[in-house]
Chains A and B, each alone.
Chain A
C-alpha cells in the first residue's frame, strides 16, 4: 500500500487473466495481452500506472485483504469460499459459469450422504441451509470422478458449458449461484486510493455496459 499513485493489482494467472486484460483494454487501459516471461510474478505496467501481482486465483482475496495488493480480480466462487473482508466493487461479467450440485441421473437419497467438492465451505453452507446434514469431502481436482467411483453420491462444482458432465454421464441437479469475476478492493486502499480506484471502476463499468 504505497501512497504513490501506482495501484497494485492482484491478477489471477491463466484463463481469467486473458479475459480480464481484454476488458481492461476495452476500458482504455493499455494492458498487454500476455507477458513474454510468464514466470515473472510482479509485473510493472507503467502505462496504466499499475503493478500486477500474478497470483493463483484462490490467493487473490488473501493478498487484497492483507493490503499487499490494493485491488484484485477474482471469481465469485473463490470469494464465497474464502470469505475475506474485502470490498466487492464490480461485477466484471467475465468468466461466466455457475456453481451447481451434480450427480448421476438415477440419484436417490442415501442414508449417509457424501458430497465431494473443491469448495467445502460453500457446499457445507448450502446443504445446511437446505436442512440436510451431509459429509463434505474436500478434493483438489477431477471432482467428477467422485460419483463415478462411489466416493460421494453428489458433488458441488463449477459448470461452464456442461460438456464435461455430459461426457461423464452426470447431470446438474441444482444451481447454487451464478459465478462471474469481480473487482475487489482492500478496506484501506479503498479509502486512501479512492480516486484512482473509483476512476478504474467507472472506466470498467462503461466498458462492461458497452459489451452487453
Chain B
C-alpha cells in the first residue's frame, strides 16, 4: 500500500463530529436508561482480550477477529462483541452472584477489515445479557426489551423476525436421519440465504415427494402465531416439537407485553448453528438496508468460562440507528459572555451561574478590533447571534468597554 495521505484513516473506521455525537449520546442514554428500568445493570470490560479465551469463544469467525501480538508474543484480540467478555466476567468476578444475572453494556467492538463499505471495522453496540434463565419468559423479555430499546432510541418503524434453531435441527434429523453432510448442506444454504441452492439440494435427495415438499415449504413458514401451529404438524421430532412449543410460549408472553404486532415468526431465520442454541432474532428498520439489532439464546457459551448456564441476550447497533433516527430539535441553549479584563471576576461568576442552570457558556475577553464582538453590542436579542461560526441564544456583556460605555 502507498503511504496514506494525512487525512486518511484505516478502512472501516469513522470519525464522529459534534452534531453526530450529540445524537449518538442521546440514543445511547435513552437506550441504557430503558435497560436500567428493566433491571439491567451496566458493566464495562476491556477493549482487548486473549485470543485463546474470549477470541475463540466469541461468535465471530476467526478471519474476522482483529488480532494483535502483545510484547510477549501472546495473541490478543480487539473484542468482536460484548457477549463473550461478559460470559468471562460472569464465570469469574461474578461467579458467586446467584442467577439470573441481568447485565447491560455499551461499547465499541471490532471486526477485521473488509474491503467493502457498509461493513465497519469498529462500531458501537448497546445490549443486554440475561444469564441463568432458560424459560420462554426470559427469551420474551429479551425481545420485549429490544422492542422497548428501539422505541427509546427513536427508531420510527421496525420489525423483529424470530426463529428457533431447534426446529430446523429437529426437522432435518427426522427427514434425513444419519445424513449429516446433507443436513449441513441444507443449513449452509439457509445461513447464506440461498433459497435456490436449498431447493437444489432437496431436489437431489432421495426422499419421497411428500417429505421434499415439506422441506421446501418451510421457506414459506412466516407470519404470526399461526406459523407455530403449521410447524407442529410438519415434524414429529422431539427437538422440533420442543422448539415450536417454546416459541409458542414466547409468543404468548409477547402478546401479554402487547408487542406482537412488531414481531413475526420466520423459521428459516437462523443464526450461526455452532453458537446459538435456541431462539434467535433480528430487528429491521425501514430505510436501512442492514439489520439494526440481533440476538438469541446461547446456552453453550458460559460453560467455556467455567460456569455452565443458560443465557440469552441482544445487541443494538447504535451507530447504524443513527442514520434512521430523526433529529430531536432539543437544541442546547448557548450563551456568550463578553467581558473586560477588569471585570473578570464578575464575568466568570455569571458564566458559572448560567452553567449551573444548564446553559452552555463560552466566555471571551472583549477586543475592540473584533468586528463580531462589536456587533454583539448592537444585537437586539432576536433569533440567535453568530460568533465564530456558532449560534448563541444569549449574549451577556460585562464591563464598561464590552458594553460600549467606556
Residues of A contacting B5 in the complex (Cβ-Cβ under 8 angstroms): none
Residues of A contacting B287 in the complex (Cβ-Cβ under 8 angstroms): 1-2
**Are B291 and A188 closer than 8 Å at their CB atoms?**
yes
B307 within 8 Å of A (CB atoms):
no
Consensus secondary structure, chain B interface: mixed
Taking a contact as CB atoms closer than 8 A, the residue among B161, B195, B282 that contacts A89 in the complex is B195
**Are A67 and B290 closer than 8 Å at their CB atoms?**
yes
Interface string of A169-190 (1 = CB under 8 A from B): 0000000000000100011110
**Are A66 and B118 closer than 8 Å at their CB atoms?**
yes
The winner among B159, B193, B266, B291 for most chain A CB atoms within 10 A is B193
**Are B289 and A88 closer than 8 Å at their CB atoms?**
no
Nearest neighbor of B193 in chain A, beta-carbon distance: A87
Given contacts A1-B287, A186-B289, contact A65 B118 (CB under 8 A): yes
**Are A198 and B220 closer than 8 Å at their CB atoms?**
yes
Interface string of B201-223 (1 = CB under 8 A from A): 00000000000000000001010
Residues of B contacting A89 in the complex (Cβ-Cβ under 8 angstroms): 195-196
A86 within 8 Å of B (CB atoms):
yes
**Are A67 and B161 closer than 8 Å at their CB atoms?**
no
**Are B195 and A188 closer than 8 Å at their CB atoms?**
no
Given contacts A3-B157, A65-B118, A198-B220, contact A188 B289 (CB under 8 A): yes
B61 within 8 Å of A (CB atoms):
no
In the bound assembly, the distance between CA atoms of A126 and B195 in angstroms comes to: 22
**Are A90 and B193 closer than 8 Å at their CB atoms?**
no
Given contacts A3-B157, A66-B118, A198-B220, contact A188 B197 (CB under 8 A): no
A85 within 8 Å of B (CB atoms):
yes
In the bound assembly, the distance between CA atoms of A86 and B116 in angstroms comes to: 14
A81 within 8 Å of B (CB atoms):
no
In the bound assembly, the distance between CA atoms of A88 and B196 in angstroms comes to: 6
A211 within 8 Å of B (CB atoms):
no
In the bound assembly, the distance between CA atoms of A188 and B157 in angstroms comes to: 12
Segment 32-57 of B: residues with Cβ below 8 Å from A:
none
Given contacts A1-B289, A187-B193, A187-B290, contact A192 B220 (CB under 8 A): no
A91 within 8 Å of B (CB atoms):
yes
CB distance from B316 to the nearest CB of A (A): 15
Interface string of B182-208 (1 = CB under 8 A from A): 000000000011111101000000000
Residues of B contacting A68 in the complex (Cβ-Cβ under 8 angstroms): 289
Nearest neighbor of B219 in chain A, beta-carbon distance: A89
A133 within 8 Å of B (CB atoms):
no
Residues of B contacting A187 in the complex (Cβ-Cβ under 8 angstroms): 193, 284, 289-291
**Are B286 and A88 closer than 8 Å at their CB atoms?**
no
In the bound assembly, the distance between CA atoms of A118 and B274 in angstroms comes to: 36
**Are B291 and A90 closer than 8 Å at their CB atoms?**
no
**Are B193 and A192 closer than 8 Å at their CB atoms?**
no
In the bound assembly, the distance between CA atoms of A189 and B197 in angstroms comes to: 20
Residues of B contacting A67 in the complex (Cβ-Cβ under 8 angstroms): 288-290
In the bound assembly, the distance between CA atoms of A90 and B219 in angstroms comes to: 12
**Are A2 and B289 closer than 8 Å at their CB atoms?**
no
Residues of B contacting A65 in the complex (Cβ-Cβ under 8 angstroms): 118, 289
Segment 251-267 of B: residues with Cβ below 8 Å from A:
264, 266
Residues of A contacting B194 in the complex (Cβ-Cβ under 8 angstroms): 88
A108 within 8 Å of B (CB atoms):
no
Question: How many of chain B's residues touch chain A, expressed as a range?
Answer: 20 to 34
B285 within 8 Å of A (CB atoms):
yes
Residues of A contacting B161 in the complex (Cβ-Cβ under 8 angstroms): 191
The winner among B196, B266, B284 for most chain A CB atoms within 10 A is B196
The winner among B159, B195, B197 for most chain A CB atoms within 10 A is B195
**Are B195 and A87 closer than 8 Å at their CB atoms?**
yes
**Are B159 and A192 closer than 8 Å at their CB atoms?**
yes
Residues of B contacting A191 in the complex (Cβ-Cβ under 8 angstroms): 159, 161, 264, 266, 282, 284
**Are B196 and A90 closer than 8 Å at their CB atoms?**
yes
Interface string of B284-304 (1 = CB under 8 A from A): 111111110000000000000
CB distance from B323 to the nearest CB of A (A): 11
**Are B286 and A3 closer than 8 Å at their CB atoms?**
yes
In the bound assembly, the distance between CA atoms of A65 and B195 in angstroms comes to: 16
Residues of A contacting B159 in the complex (Cβ-Cβ under 8 angstroms): 191-192
Segment 114-160 of B: residues with Cβ below 8 Å from A:
118, 157, 159
CB distance from A69 to the nearest CB of B (A): 9
Segment 80-123 of A: residues with Cβ below 8 Å from B:
85-91
CB distance from A55 to the nearest CB of B (A): 15
CB distance from A24 to the nearest CB of B (A): 18
In the bound assembly, the distance between CA atoms of A91 and B287 in angstroms comes to: 27
Nearest neighbor of B198 in chain A, beta-carbon distance: A88
The winner among A1, A91, A187, A192 for most chain B CB atoms within 10 A is A192
Residues of B contacting A194 in the complex (Cβ-Cβ under 8 angstroms): 222, 264
**Are A66 and B289 closer than 8 Å at their CB atoms?**
yes
Residues of B contacting A2 in the complex (Cβ-Cβ under 8 angstroms): 286-287
Residues of A contacting B290 in the complex (Cβ-Cβ under 8 angstroms): 67, 187-188
CB distance from A184 to the nearest CB of B (A): 9
CB distance from B201 to the nearest CB of A (A): 13
In the bound assembly, the distance between CA atoms of A68 and B290 in angstroms comes to: 11
Please, could you name 13 A-B residue pairs with CB atoms under 8 Å apart, sorted by A? A2-B287, A66-B289, A67-B289, A86-B193, A88-B195, A91-B199, A182-B196, A188-B284, A188-B285, A191-B161, A191-B282, A192-B286, A198-B220
Residues of B within 8 A of A (CB): 118, 157, 159, 161, 192-197, 199, 220, 222, 264, 266, 282, 284-291
Given contacts A187-B289, A191-B161, A191-B282, 5 further A-B pairs with CB under 8 A are A1-B288, A65-B118, A88-B195, A188-B290, A192-B286
